[in-house]
């Protein structure tokens, strides 16, 4: 460890090995068997349970918890996977506090919901640790479906199609599958290469092939896929990044947060990752929070997250905000960057912000400004659709789809972050992929019009 | 402060909490600790005849049933009577009684069903200075195979015979401990009374298999791949014990006979319930085997506080107080009508009442928009299942309909007391009416 938290500039090795390890260890250590039984016992097995309704993949939560309680975690996991094949990752990354656990009647009763997420992890971990894949494919149908994107939506879609006996070929722009599970979410939420292991486990079903380095619009053409395959599912997420268009954005060490997070997720040795002493993150969503927290965990001395609107508009959940604050991130609201300053003309040294006003007269900048020291800046103001053929109808920067995931073009479905209607969550992407697969299956077998 | 001092068949103890004859009372060391902790008395673990002591298994003796978070709800044992030499036990009993003269020292006995065997043991027990004896006619495992324990307790004639032998051969009060492994507990109780027993104590343990090891395909506790039935006790058996105590307390032939209540007593409240149903004192075992002797502090403080609140000055004022309200089904008031009422403020909308009523009962709970659950009085038979399955205490209550008020289910107004014996649907009722 040559550097410390106080070393100026963007440098690696600010912490010792043990601190890196503990900083990026499991955010919530898994429940052991006894803890799981006790936690499961708290479930009331509600009639028409609110938690089930709140789950985008409609997992039969009371049933899987009852199965854990009865000492049968394997079947608990099957109950989960039947609805959500990425139930392992969702157990780790779902904002349960705004989904199933928010509506848990024990939240109503005592402000302490059943630990649904943790229980789901307990069950899925148990079954995934066993040999083989829990499901078997139906007899091969000879039908072939192209899936674009090996993220949660594409994987869920391909798995469901393969389960029905169809063959799925997934095209992914990267060299590795998993999408945001692999490149996006915070490292401490899924340590020990869980995302990669989950993909391998999922592929254990058979009938799914992944072709890497294939980017839609760059060599890979939608009309060719339509010709070659019986159906096409688009689940390539949002590859573009929104621009800030602020003066000085070109200075060194001003970069996109998604890139930083992807680098971090792929790093084999965290001590080689450079991070600033004074880091500023711009944005108010999950990406911003993840970048801010992980900068802190990598050893940045000061991390400030700045969002242009008020707390009510902050899309990061209360839990995420509290986590950030607990890790030492400072959250500043109602301020927008007006200039990235540089002392040497090359690298960023500070950011000047203007306070904003978001009232009845609309959103505007105030006269009042302030400057925050910054040797590294991460922009996290949203991602955008990229490489989508113009023939597809879009709205608000997303591919228009109906409830079944059908796009404006016959034979082409879409789901996940690239499609309209989602919440940009892993779990909604899984639901979209799964439901589109069901619709594709119905269409191919003549059960749907 | 209520006076907890107890006098049971002439045996005095500072409180009505005794330890039952069981592993906790097998040795001087344990009993001293119990007395130091505050227990009012003990029934020393069952002694057998002079000679080589019995031998216990060296594998597991206990099996258990658990609730949430491994709360022990029921315990099963296959332990026999004391496996220590008779003389050693007698010496220890004498020493402990000498050192704790204010505590009750009752000795449990189980010897073969021959008068000579009883004649032999009674004087040596008497010589210890013990306050009384308890005849173990209850253990359902092991010793019963040898013609003792519940093998005696299941035959009223034997109970009467042995009790009589004891009464004829000792000045000590004789308490007969009854087995619940019978069809009607009043018959053995009557037999004990005929034999001259000073009191009965009940219940002993219930024949049971707690669980099955599904890999080994053997009952638990498993000894080298096999298991046998054992005696079940602990909180799970309390309802069975309460009923048996009440049956003896209200049965004409046995009413008034002192009863020492045993069976799942875990807290002061359990003790108060046993006493209300006629037990003069209580004996505790599983609770101390689970939590240790200190729980008696809670029992003493709790019973005392409750008695103060209710204005009961002494234990005797509590004993049997609920017995007059124990009746036969045929005398229950069929014109007493209640309806379930759900407190919407307290409701957490789990829907358990709905599932229970809709699936298994009378479809008397309606699920409305926004998960609002309401009782349909025209279907509600007041079964109380919704109250029992509701996780929120006090959320669902049963409202008593006042006289004259119309029961929406029957369309009839609530009328005066009327029971089955006089009900028109009862084929036997007409005779009574004529």
B176-226: per-residue pLDDT in tens? 999 999 999 999 999 999 999 999 999 999 999 999 999 999 999 999 999
Give me the residue spans of the domains in chain A. 33-128, 144-239+385-444, 241-379
What does the block give as tokens for A439? 């619709």
CATH of domain A33-128: 1.10.1060.10
CA distance A12 to chain B (A): 46
Sheet with A208-212, side-by-side order of all strands: A208-212, A167-172, A144-148, A231-234, A412-414
Query: Chain B contacts of A41, Cβ < 8 Å?
Result: 68-69
State the residue range of the domain holding B266: 6-325
Q: Note the pLDDT of residue B20.
A: 98
**What does the pLDDT average to over A226-246?**
94
Beta-carbon contacts of A390 under 8 Å, excluding residues fewer than 6 positions away, are none
Cα A241 to Cα A256: distance, rounded to the nearest angstrom? 8
A48–B68 C-beta distance less than 8 A: no
- Could you please state the CATH topology (level 3) that the domain comprising A144-239+385-444 is classified under: FAD/NAD(P)-binding domain (3.50.50)
Is residue B434, in this structure, part of any structural domain at all?
A: no
Q: How many CB atoms lie within 10 A of CB B429?
A: 16
Quick check: bond before B221 cis, omega within 30?
yes
Q: What is the pTM of this model?
A: 0.91
B317 and B358 share one domain: no
Assign B431 a pLDDT band (cuts: 50, 70, 90): low
B363 and B388 share one domain: yes
B371 and B317 share one domain: no
- Are residues A100 and A125 in contact, defined by beta-carbon separation less than 8 angstroms? no
B304 and B339 share one domain: no
Assign B143 a pLDDT band (cuts: 50, 70, 90): confident
CATH of domain A241-379: 3.50.50.60
Cα A22 to Cα A192: distance, rounded to the nearest angstrom? 13
**What does the pLDDT average to over B281-309?**
97
Examine the pLDDT at A165 and tell me if it is beyond 90.
Answer: yes
Q: Is B394 exposed, middle or buried (0-12, 13-18, 19+ CB in 10 A)?
A: exposed
Is residue B1, in this structure, part of any structural domain at all?
A: no
B256 and B375 share one domain: no
B350–A46 C-beta distance less than 8 A: yes
Q: Note the pLDDT of residue A448.
A: 61
Weakest mean pLDDT among A238-247, A332-341, B380-389:
A238-247
**In total, how many domains does chain B have?**
2
**What does the pLDDT average to over A230-234?**
98
Domain boundary among B276, B295, B325: B325
Q: Note the pLDDT of residue B126.
A: 98
Examine the pLDDT at A422 and tell me if it is beyond 80.
Answer: no
- The rounded mean pLDDT for chain A is 95
B413 and B303 share one domain: no
CA distance B389 to chain A (A): 10
CATH code for the domain in which residue B365 is found:
3.30.70.20
Query: Chain A contacts of B351, Cβ < 8 Å?
Result: 46-49
pLDDT in tens, A192-205: 999 999 999 999 99
Q: How many CB atoms lie within 10 A of CB B80?
A: 22
Asked if A46 reaches chain B (Cβ–Cβ under 8 Å), the answer is yes
CB-nearest to A47 from B68, B355, B391 is: B355
Assign B30 a pLDDT band (cuts: 50, 70, 90): very high
Assign A408 a pLDDT band (cuts: 50, 70, 90): very high
Q: Output the CA torsion B39→B41→B45→B49 (10° steps).
A: 160
Assign A424 a pLDDT band (cuts: 50, 70, 90): confident
Size of interface A-B (CB pairs under 8 A): 37
B139 and B39 share one domain: yes
CA distance A34 to chain B (A): 8
B220 and B91 share one domain: yes
Equal CATH topology for A144-239+385-444 and A241-379: yes
Domain boundary among B325, B341, B356: B325
Q: Note the pLDDT of residue A449.
A: 53
B311 and B365 share one domain: no
B94 and B122 share one domain: yes
**What does the pLDDT average to over A382-387?**
90
Q: Note the pLDDT of residue A446.
A: 86
Examine the pLDDT at B119 and tell me if it is beyond 60.
Answer: yes
CB-nearest to A46 from B68, B70, B351 is: B351
Q: Note the pLDDT of residue B433.
A: 47
Domain boundary among B325, B344, B366: B325
B176 and B196 share one domain: yes
B359 and B266 share one domain: no
To 10 degrees, what angle do helices A61-69 and A33-41 make? Answer: 130
ipTM score of the complex? 0.86
Asked if A41 reaches chain B (Cβ–Cβ under 8 Å), the answer is yes
């Amino acid at each position: 460890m040559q550097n410390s938290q106080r070393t100026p500039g963007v440098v690696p090795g600010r912490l010792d090995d043990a601190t890196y390890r503990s900083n990026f260890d499991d955010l919530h250590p898994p429940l052991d068997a006894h803890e799981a039984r006790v936690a499961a016992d708290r479930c009331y097995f509600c009639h028409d349970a609110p938690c089930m309704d709140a789950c985008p993949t409609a997992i039969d939560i009371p049933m899987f918890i009852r199965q854990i309680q009865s000492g049968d975690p394997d079947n608990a996991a099957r109950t989960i996977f039947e609805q959500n094949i990425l139930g392992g990752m969702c157990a780790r990354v779902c904002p349960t506090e705004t989904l199933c656990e928010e509506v848990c009647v024990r939240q109503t009763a005592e402000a302490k919901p059943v630990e649904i997420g943790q229980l789901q992890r307990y069950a899925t971990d148990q079954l995934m640790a066993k040999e083989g894949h829990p499901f078997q494919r139906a007899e091969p149908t000879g039908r072939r479906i192209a899936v674009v994107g090996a993220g949660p939506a594409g994987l869920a879609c391909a798995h469901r199609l393969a389960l029905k006996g169809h063959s799925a070929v997934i095209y992914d722009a990267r060299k590795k599958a998993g999408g945001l599970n692999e490149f996006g979410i915070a490292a401490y939420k899924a340590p020990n290469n869980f995302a990669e292991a989950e993909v391998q486990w999922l592929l254990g079903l058979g009938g799914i092939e992944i072709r890497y380095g294939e980017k839609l619009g760059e060599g890979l053409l939608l009309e060719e896929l339509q010709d070659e395959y019986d159906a096409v599912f688009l689940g390539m997420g949002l590859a573009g990044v929104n621009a800030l268009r602020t003066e000085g954005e070109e200075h060194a060490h001003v970069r996109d947060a998604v890139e930083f997070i992807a680098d971090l997720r792929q790093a084999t040795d965290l001590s080689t990752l450079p991070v600033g002493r004074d880091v500023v993150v711009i944005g108010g969503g999950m990406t911003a929070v993840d970048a801010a927290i992980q900068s802190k965990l990598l050893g940045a001395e000061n991390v400030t997250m700045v969002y242009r609107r008020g707390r009510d508009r902050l899309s990061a959940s209360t839990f995420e905000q509290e986590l950030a604050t607990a890790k030492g991130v400072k959250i500043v609201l109602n301020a927008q960057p007006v200039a990235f300053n540089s002392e040497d003309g090359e690298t960023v040294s500070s950011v000047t912000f203007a306070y904003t006003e978001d009232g009845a007269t609309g959103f505007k900048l105030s006269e009042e400004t302030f400057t925050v020291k910054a040797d590294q800046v991460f922009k996290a103001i949203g991602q955008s659709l990229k490489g989508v053929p113009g023939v597809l109808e879009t709205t608000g920067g997303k591919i228009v789809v109906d409830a079944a995931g059908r796009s404006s073009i016959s034979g082409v479905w879409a789901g996940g972050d690239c499609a309209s209607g989602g919440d940009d969550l892993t779990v909604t992407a899984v639901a979209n992929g799964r439901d589109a697969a069901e619709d594709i299956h119905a269409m191919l077998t003549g059960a749907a019009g | 402060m209520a006076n907890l001092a107890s006098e049971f068949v002439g045996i005095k103890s500072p409180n009505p909490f005794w330890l039952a004859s069981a592993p906790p009372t097998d040795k001087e060391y344990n009993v001293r600790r119990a007395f130091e902790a505050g227990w009012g008395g003990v029934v020393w673990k069952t002694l057998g005849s002079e000679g080589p002591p019995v031998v216990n298994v060296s594998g597991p003796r206990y099996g258990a049933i658990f609730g949430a978070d491994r709360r022990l709800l029921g315990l099963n044992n296959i332990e026999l009577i004391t496996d220590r030499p008779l003389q050693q036990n007698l010496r220890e009993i004498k020493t402990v009684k000498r050192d704790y003269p204010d505590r009750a020292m009752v000795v449990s006995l189980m010897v073969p069903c021959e008068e000579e065997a009883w004649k032999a043991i009674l004087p040596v027990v008497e010589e210890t200075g013990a306050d009384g004896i308890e005849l173990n006619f209850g253990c359902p495992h092991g010793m019963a195979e040898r013609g003792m324990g519940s093998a005696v307790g299941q035959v009223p004639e034997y109970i009467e015979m042995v009790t009589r032998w004891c009464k004829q051969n000792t000045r000590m009060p004789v308490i007969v401990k009854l087995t619940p492994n019978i069809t009607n507990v009043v018959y053995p109780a009557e037999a004990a009374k005929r034999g001259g027993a000073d009191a009965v104590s009940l219940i002993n343990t219930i024949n049971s298999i707690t669980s099955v090891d599904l890999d080994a395909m053997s009952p638990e506790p498993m000894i080298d791949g096999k298991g046998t039935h054992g005696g079940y006790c602990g909180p799970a058996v309390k309802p069975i014990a309460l009923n048996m105590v009440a049956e003896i307390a209200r049965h004409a032939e046995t009413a008034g006979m002192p009863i020492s209540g045993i069976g799942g007593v875990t807290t002061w409240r359990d003790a108060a319930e046993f006493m209300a149903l006629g037990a003069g004192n209580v004996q505790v075992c599983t609770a101390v085997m689970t939590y240790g002797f200190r729980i008696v502090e809670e029992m003493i403080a709790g019973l005392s506080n409750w008695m103060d609140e209710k204005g009961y000055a002494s234990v005797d004022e509590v004993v049997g107080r609920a017995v007059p309200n124990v009746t036969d089904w045929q005398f229950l008031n069929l014109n007493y009508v209640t309806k379930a009422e759900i407190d919407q403020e307290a409701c957490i909308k789990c829907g358990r009442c709905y599932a229970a009523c809709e699936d298994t009962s009378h479809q008397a709970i309606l699920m409305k928009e926004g998960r609002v659950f309401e009782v349909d009085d025209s279907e509600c038979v007041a079964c109380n299942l919704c109250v029992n399955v509701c996780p929120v205490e006090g959320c669902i209550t049963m409202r008593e309909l006042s006289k004259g008020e119309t029961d929406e289910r029957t369309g009839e107004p609530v009328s005066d007391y009327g029971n089955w014996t006089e009900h028109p649907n009862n084929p036997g009722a007409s005779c009574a009416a004529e």
